[in-house]
Protein backbone atom coordinates (compact mmCIF):
# COMPACT_ATOMS: atom_id res chain seq x y z
CA UNK A 1 0.00 0.00 0.00
CA UNK A 2 1.80 3.12 -1.21
CA UNK A 3 2.00 5.98 1.29
CA UNK A 4 2.27 9.54 -0.03
CA UNK A 5 2.66 12.23 2.61
CA UNK A 6 1.02 15.28 1.05
CA UNK A 7 1.52 17.70 3.96
CA UNK A 8 5.07 18.17 5.23
CA UNK A 9 7.66 20.92 5.09
CA UNK A 10 11.29 21.42 4.11
CA UNK A 11 13.62 24.39 4.42
CA UNK A 12 16.31 24.05 1.72
CA UNK A 13 19.73 24.82 3.22
CA UNK A 14 20.26 27.54 0.60
CA UNK A 15 17.06 29.24 1.79
CA UNK A 16 18.18 29.13 5.42
CA UNK A 17 21.50 30.62 4.36
CA UNK A 18 19.61 33.37 2.53
CA UNK A 19 17.54 34.14 5.65
CA UNK A 20 20.74 34.56 7.64
CA UNK A 21 22.52 36.59 4.97
CA UNK A 22 21.21 39.94 6.15
CA UNK A 23 18.94 40.47 3.15
CA UNK A 24 15.83 38.96 4.81
CA UNK A 25 13.14 40.53 6.97
CA UNK A 26 12.95 37.31 9.00
CA UNK A 27 14.72 36.97 12.33
CA UNK A 28 16.73 33.78 12.71
CA UNK A 29 18.61 32.64 15.82
CA UNK A 30 20.33 29.37 16.69
CA UNK A 31 19.07 27.32 19.62
CA UNK A 32 21.20 25.39 22.12
CA UNK A 33 21.11 22.29 19.91
CA UNK A 34 22.37 24.14 16.85
CA UNK A 35 18.99 24.36 15.11
CA UNK A 36 17.90 27.56 13.36
CA UNK A 37 14.90 29.16 15.04
CA UNK A 38 12.79 31.13 12.55
CA UNK A 39 10.45 33.77 13.99
CA UNK A 40 7.21 35.32 12.79
CA UNK A 41 4.24 36.87 14.66
CA UNK A 42 2.71 34.52 17.20
CA UNK A 43 4.92 31.56 16.45
CA UNK A 44 8.34 30.32 15.47
CA UNK A 45 9.67 27.20 13.81
CA UNK A 46 12.68 25.24 15.00
CA UNK A 47 14.40 23.90 11.90
CA UNK A 48 15.42 20.49 13.22
CA UNK A 49 17.47 18.15 11.01
CA UNK A 50 14.33 16.79 9.34
CA UNK A 51 13.52 20.30 8.15
CA UNK A 52 16.85 20.88 6.43
CA UNK A 53 18.75 17.62 5.86
CA UNK A 54 17.22 15.67 3.00
CA UNK A 55 19.28 12.53 3.60
CA UNK A 56 18.26 12.46 7.26
CA UNK A 57 14.64 12.92 6.20
CA UNK A 58 14.85 10.10 3.68
CA UNK A 59 15.99 7.71 6.41
CA UNK A 60 13.01 8.75 8.58
CA UNK A 61 10.64 7.98 5.69
CA UNK A 62 12.21 4.57 5.19
CA UNK A 63 11.87 3.78 8.90
CA UNK A 64 8.15 4.61 8.83
CA UNK A 65 7.34 3.06 5.46
CA UNK A 66 6.47 6.34 3.72
CA UNK A 67 7.16 6.04 0.01
CA UNK A 68 6.88 9.64 -1.16
CA UNK A 69 6.62 13.13 0.26
CA UNK A 70 5.27 16.21 -1.51
CA UNK A 71 7.64 18.90 -0.27
CA UNK A 72 6.47 22.41 0.50
CA UNK A 73 8.00 25.39 2.23
CA UNK A 74 6.26 26.66 5.32
CA UNK A 75 5.80 29.80 7.35
CA UNK A 76 6.75 32.59 7.26
CA UNK A 77 6.86 32.26 3.45
CA UNK A 78 8.68 34.45 0.99
CA UNK A 79 5.86 37.01 0.83
CA UNK A 80 7.06 38.63 4.07
CA UNK A 81 10.12 39.92 2.21
CA UNK A 82 10.34 42.88 -0.16
CA UNK A 83 8.90 41.92 -3.57
CA UNK A 84 12.31 41.62 -5.21
CA UNK A 85 13.68 39.48 -2.38
CA UNK A 86 10.50 37.39 -2.31
CA UNK A 87 10.88 36.57 -6.00
CA UNK A 88 14.55 35.69 -5.57
CA UNK A 89 13.89 33.48 -2.54
CA UNK A 90 10.98 31.70 -4.27
CA UNK A 91 13.18 30.85 -7.24
CA UNK A 92 15.91 29.63 -4.90
CA UNK A 93 13.48 27.37 -3.00
CA UNK A 94 11.90 25.93 -6.12
CA UNK A 95 15.23 25.19 -7.73
CA UNK A 96 16.29 23.40 -4.54
CA UNK A 97 13.06 21.37 -4.48
CA UNK A 98 13.54 20.42 -8.12
CA UNK A 99 17.09 19.26 -7.39
CA UNK A 100 15.87 17.08 -4.53
CA UNK A 101 13.21 15.53 -6.78
CA UNK A 102 15.83 14.95 -9.50
CA UNK A 103 18.36 13.30 -7.22
CA UNK A 104 15.83 11.24 -5.26
CA UNK A 105 13.22 10.31 -7.88
CA UNK A 106 10.05 8.74 -6.57
CA UNK A 107 10.90 9.63 -2.98
CA UNK A 108 10.19 13.36 -3.28
CA UNK A 109 8.18 15.72 -5.42
CA UNK A 110 7.10 19.26 -4.57
CA UNK A 111 4.63 22.09 -4.89
CA UNK A 112 6.07 25.48 -5.77
CA UNK A 113 6.67 28.41 -3.48
CA UNK A 114 5.44 31.74 -4.89
CA UNK A 115 6.36 35.38 -4.09
CA UNK A 116 2.74 36.14 -3.34
CA UNK A 117 3.27 39.84 -2.59
CA UNK A 118 4.18 40.24 -6.28
CA UNK A 119 1.41 38.68 -8.35
CA UNK A 120 3.15 39.15 -11.71
CA UNK A 121 6.24 37.43 -10.36
CA UNK A 122 4.03 34.68 -8.91
CA UNK A 123 2.46 34.04 -12.30
CA UNK A 124 5.91 33.80 -13.87
CA UNK A 125 7.20 31.47 -11.17
CA UNK A 126 4.12 29.22 -11.26
CA UNK A 127 4.47 28.86 -15.02
CA UNK A 128 8.19 28.09 -14.68
CA UNK A 129 7.59 25.57 -11.91
CA UNK A 130 4.90 23.72 -13.83
CA UNK A 131 6.41 23.82 -17.33
CA UNK A 132 10.13 23.58 -16.55
CA UNK A 133 10.57 22.07 -13.08
CA UNK A 134 7.88 19.41 -13.32
CA UNK A 135 5.72 20.58 -10.42
CA UNK A 136 1.93 20.21 -10.60
CA UNK A 137 1.04 23.37 -8.71
CA UNK A 138 1.90 25.58 -5.76
CA UNK A 139 1.22 26.17 -2.11
CA UNK A 140 -0.54 29.43 -1.24
CA UNK A 141 -0.76 31.01 2.18
CA UNK A 142 -4.19 31.74 3.64
CA UNK A 143 -3.52 35.47 3.55
CA UNK A 144 -0.73 37.52 2.04
CA UNK A 145 0.41 40.16 4.52
CA UNK A 146 -3.25 40.57 5.49
CA UNK A 147 -4.70 40.47 1.96
CA UNK A 148 -7.33 37.79 1.36
CA UNK A 149 -6.79 35.27 -1.42
CA UNK A 150 -10.14 36.30 -2.89
CA UNK A 151 -8.96 39.84 -3.64
CA UNK A 152 -8.92 41.02 -7.23
CA UNK A 153 -5.15 41.42 -7.30
CA UNK A 154 -4.75 37.62 -7.32
CA UNK A 155 -6.97 36.98 -10.35
CA UNK A 156 -4.05 36.87 -12.82
CA UNK A 157 -2.53 34.08 -10.73
CA UNK A 158 -5.77 32.11 -10.86
CA UNK A 159 -6.04 32.66 -14.60
CA UNK A 160 -2.57 31.16 -15.03
CA UNK A 161 -3.31 28.29 -12.64
CA UNK A 162 -6.53 27.55 -14.49
CA UNK A 163 -4.73 27.38 -17.83
CA UNK A 164 -2.17 25.02 -16.30
CA UNK A 165 -4.78 22.88 -14.52
CA UNK A 166 -2.67 23.44 -11.42
CA UNK A 167 -3.12 22.28 -7.85
CA UNK A 168 -3.33 25.19 -5.40
CA UNK A 169 -2.79 24.06 -1.83
CA UNK A 170 -3.77 26.53 0.91
CA UNK A 171 -1.62 26.55 4.03
CA UNK A 172 -2.35 28.89 6.94
CA UNK A 173 -0.15 31.69 8.14
CA UNK A 174 -0.53 34.16 10.97
CA UNK A 175 -4.00 35.67 10.73
CA UNK A 176 -5.05 39.25 11.12
CA UNK A 177 -5.56 39.74 14.84
CA UNK A 178 -2.66 37.46 15.72
CA UNK A 179 -1.95 39.60 18.79
CA UNK A 180 -4.93 37.87 20.46
CA UNK A 181 -3.30 34.46 19.90
CA UNK A 182 0.20 34.83 21.28
CA UNK A 183 -0.30 32.86 24.51
CA UNK A 184 -0.73 29.10 24.83
CA UNK A 185 0.43 28.64 21.20
CA UNK A 186 -3.10 29.61 20.14
CA UNK A 187 -1.94 31.00 16.81
CA UNK A 188 -0.97 27.59 15.36
CA UNK A 189 -3.50 25.67 17.45
CA UNK A 190 -6.57 27.80 16.64
CA UNK A 191 -5.61 30.73 14.42
CA UNK A 192 -4.16 28.55 11.66
CA UNK A 193 -7.35 26.53 11.37
CA UNK A 194 -9.61 29.54 11.39
CA UNK A 195 -7.54 31.37 8.77
CA UNK A 196 -7.74 28.37 6.43
CA UNK A 197 -11.50 28.22 6.99
CA UNK A 198 -11.84 31.94 6.30
CA UNK A 199 -9.71 31.75 3.16
CA UNK A 200 -11.69 28.84 1.73
CA UNK A 201 -15.03 30.53 2.44
CA UNK A 202 -13.92 33.80 0.85
CA UNK A 203 -12.60 32.02 -2.23
CA UNK A 204 -15.84 30.16 -2.75
CA UNK A 205 -18.22 33.06 -2.04
CA UNK A 206 -16.11 35.27 -4.35
CA UNK A 207 -16.79 32.84 -7.20
CA UNK A 208 -13.17 31.90 -7.87
CA UNK A 209 -13.78 28.13 -8.29
CA UNK A 210 -16.81 28.94 -10.44
CA UNK A 211 -14.74 31.23 -12.66
CA UNK A 212 -11.62 29.03 -12.79
CA UNK A 213 -12.92 25.44 -12.79
CA UNK A 214 -9.67 23.75 -13.85
CA UNK A 215 -7.85 24.66 -10.64
CA UNK A 216 -7.66 21.75 -8.18
CA UNK A 217 -7.89 23.15 -4.64
CA UNK A 218 -6.52 21.47 -1.52
CA UNK A 219 -6.72 22.58 2.12
CA UNK A 220 -4.33 21.87 4.98
CA UNK A 221 -5.28 20.51 8.40
CA UNK A 222 -8.45 18.79 7.22
CA UNK A 223 -9.70 22.11 5.89
CA UNK A 224 -9.67 23.83 9.27
CA UNK A 225 -13.37 23.80 10.18
CA UNK A 226 -14.78 23.57 6.64
CA UNK A 227 -16.29 20.04 6.87
CA UNK A 228 -17.91 21.04 10.17
CA UNK A 229 -19.18 24.47 9.08
CA UNK A 230 -20.13 23.86 5.44
CA UNK A 231 -23.82 23.55 6.28
CA UNK A 232 -23.71 26.98 7.91
CA UNK A 233 -22.15 28.46 4.78
CA UNK A 234 -25.01 26.94 2.80
CA UNK A 235 -27.51 28.62 5.11
CA UNK A 236 -25.75 31.90 4.41
CA UNK A 237 -26.18 31.24 0.69
CA UNK A 238 -29.91 30.73 1.24
CA UNK A 239 -30.38 33.68 3.60
CA UNK A 240 -28.22 36.48 2.21
CA UNK A 241 -28.20 37.82 -1.34
CA UNK A 242 -24.54 38.81 -1.01
CA UNK A 243 -23.67 35.14 -0.60
CA UNK A 244 -25.37 34.33 -3.91
CA UNK A 245 -23.94 37.24 -5.90
CA UNK A 246 -21.00 35.33 -7.41
CA UNK A 247 -22.04 31.67 -7.32
CA UNK A 248 -25.04 29.76 -8.68
CA UNK A 249 -24.49 26.72 -6.43
CA UNK A 250 -24.31 26.22 -2.68
CA UNK A 251 -20.84 26.70 -1.18
CA UNK A 252 -20.74 23.08 -0.04
CA UNK A 253 -20.97 21.91 -3.65
CA UNK A 254 -17.72 23.70 -4.47
CA UNK A 255 -16.05 22.73 -1.20
CA UNK A 256 -16.79 19.05 -1.78
CA UNK A 257 -14.59 19.34 -4.85
CA UNK A 258 -11.65 20.49 -2.73
CA UNK A 259 -9.08 18.05 -1.32
CA UNK A 260 -8.41 17.78 2.43
CA UNK A 261 -5.27 16.46 4.08
CA UNK A 262 -5.40 14.32 7.20
CA UNK A 263 -3.44 16.59 9.54
CA UNK A 264 -6.09 16.14 12.18
CA UNK A 265 -5.28 12.80 13.73
CA UNK A 266 -8.72 12.23 15.27
CA UNK A 267 -10.37 9.36 13.34
CA UNK A 268 -13.82 10.79 14.10
CA UNK A 269 -12.83 14.10 12.50
CA UNK A 270 -11.42 12.22 9.51
CA UNK A 271 -14.70 10.32 9.18
CA UNK A 272 -16.57 13.63 9.16
CA UNK A 273 -14.38 14.90 6.32
CA UNK A 274 -14.84 11.65 4.40
CA UNK A 275 -18.60 11.97 4.85
CA UNK A 276 -18.42 15.53 3.56
CA UNK A 277 -16.00 15.34 0.61
CA UNK A 278 -15.75 11.62 -0.07
CA UNK A 279 -12.87 9.18 0.28
CA UNK A 280 -11.48 10.25 -3.09
CA UNK A 281 -10.77 13.79 -1.80
CA UNK A 282 -8.77 12.91 1.32
CA UNK A 283 -4.95 13.04 1.26
CA UNK A 284 -2.59 11.56 3.85
CA UNK A 285 -0.55 14.21 5.62
CA UNK A 286 1.79 14.29 8.61
CA UNK A 287 2.97 17.92 9.06
CA UNK A 288 6.45 16.43 9.51
CA UNK A 289 8.80 17.56 10.96
CA UNK A 290 7.03 20.30 12.91
CA UNK A 291 6.71 19.83 16.66
CA UNK A 292 2.97 19.38 16.20
CA UNK A 293 3.31 16.94 13.29
CA UNK A 294 3.66 13.16 13.38
CA UNK A 295 4.20 10.51 10.74
CA UNK A 296 3.22 7.68 13.15
CA UNK A 297 -0.02 9.46 14.07
CA UNK A 298 -0.79 10.03 10.38
CA UNK A 299 -0.44 6.31 9.73
CA UNK A 300 -2.24 5.21 12.89
CA UNK A 301 -5.23 7.50 12.34
CA UNK A 302 -5.74 6.35 8.75
CA UNK A 303 -5.38 2.71 9.73
CA UNK A 304 -8.05 3.29 12.38
CA UNK A 305 -10.68 4.46 9.90
CA UNK A 306 -13.81 2.39 9.30
CA UNK A 307 -13.31 2.15 5.53
CA UNK A 308 -12.56 -0.58 3.02
CA UNK A 309 -8.96 -1.49 2.27
CA UNK A 310 -9.27 -0.01 -1.21
CA UNK A 311 -10.51 3.25 0.29
CA UNK A 312 -7.69 3.18 2.83
CA UNK A 313 -5.19 2.73 0.01
CA UNK A 314 -6.71 5.73 -1.79
CA UNK A 315 -6.27 7.92 1.29
CA UNK A 316 -2.76 6.68 1.99
CA UNK A 317 -1.54 7.44 -1.51
CA UNK A 318 -3.82 6.72 -4.42
CA UNK A 319 -5.61 10.06 -4.30
CA UNK A 320 -2.35 12.01 -4.22
CA UNK A 321 -0.93 9.97 -7.09
CA UNK A 322 -4.01 10.76 -9.16
CA UNK A 323 -4.13 14.43 -8.18
CA UNK A 324 -0.47 15.06 -8.99
CA UNK A 325 -0.21 12.66 -11.92
CA UNK A 326 2.70 10.83 -10.28
Nearest to 301 by CA among 222, 200, 217: 222
CB-based contact 112:129 (threshold 8 Å):
yes
Per-residue model confidence (pLDDT) at position 240? 96
Give the pLDDT of residue 266.
Answer: 95
Which stretches does DSSP call E strand in the chain?
4-9, 28-30, 36-40, 43-46, 68-72, 108-110, 137-141, 143-144, 147-148, 167-171, 216-219, 259-261, 282-283
**Domain housing 23:** 4-324
Residue 326: the pLDDT is 86
**Per-residue pLDDT reduced to its tens digit, 54-89:** 999 999 999 999 999 999 999 999 999 999 999 999
Q: What is the pLDDT of residues 200-219, one digit of tens each?
A: 999 999 999 999 999 999 99
Count of residues making up the chain: 326
Strands 137-141 and 167-171: parallel
Report pLDDT for 95: 98
Q: What's the burial of 131, exposed, middle or buried (CB within 10 Å: 0-12/13-18/19+)?
A: exposed
Task: Report the candidate in 247, 248, 257 with the shortest Cα–Cα distance to residue 216.
Answer: 257
Tens-binned pLDDT, residue by residue, of the chain (326 aa): 899 999 999 999 999 999 998 888 888 988 888 898 998 777 788 999 999 999 999 999 999 999 999 999 999 999 999 999 999 999 999 999 999 999 999 999 999 999 999 999 999 999 999 999 999 999 999 999 999 999 999 999 999 999 999 999 999 998 888 888 888 988 889 989 999 999 999 999 999 999 999 999 999 999 999 999 999 999 999 999 999 999 999 999 999 999 999 999 999 999 999 999 999 999 999 999 999 999 999 999 999 999 999 999 999 999 999 999 98
Domains held by the chain: number:
1
- What is the SS3 assignment for 300? helix
> pLDDT digit string (tens) for 112-123?
999 999 999 999
- What angle do the packed helices 192-205 and 226-239 form, to 10 degrees? 40
Residue 18 backbone dihedrals phi, psi, to 5 degrees: -65, -40
Three-state secondary-structure class, residue 89: helix
pTM of the model: 0.95
Q: CATH number of the domain that 66 lies in?
A: 3.20.20.140
Strand-pairing partners, residue 169, are 139, 218
Amino acid sequence: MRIVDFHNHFYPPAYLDALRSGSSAVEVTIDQDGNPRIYYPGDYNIAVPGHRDIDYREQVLKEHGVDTQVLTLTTPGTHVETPATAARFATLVNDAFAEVARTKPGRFTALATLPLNDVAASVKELERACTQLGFRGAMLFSNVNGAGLNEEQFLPLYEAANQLGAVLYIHPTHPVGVEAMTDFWLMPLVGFLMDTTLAAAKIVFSGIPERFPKIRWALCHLGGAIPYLAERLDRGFEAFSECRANIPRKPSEYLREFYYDTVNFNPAALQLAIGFAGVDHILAGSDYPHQIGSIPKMIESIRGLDVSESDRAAIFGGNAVRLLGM
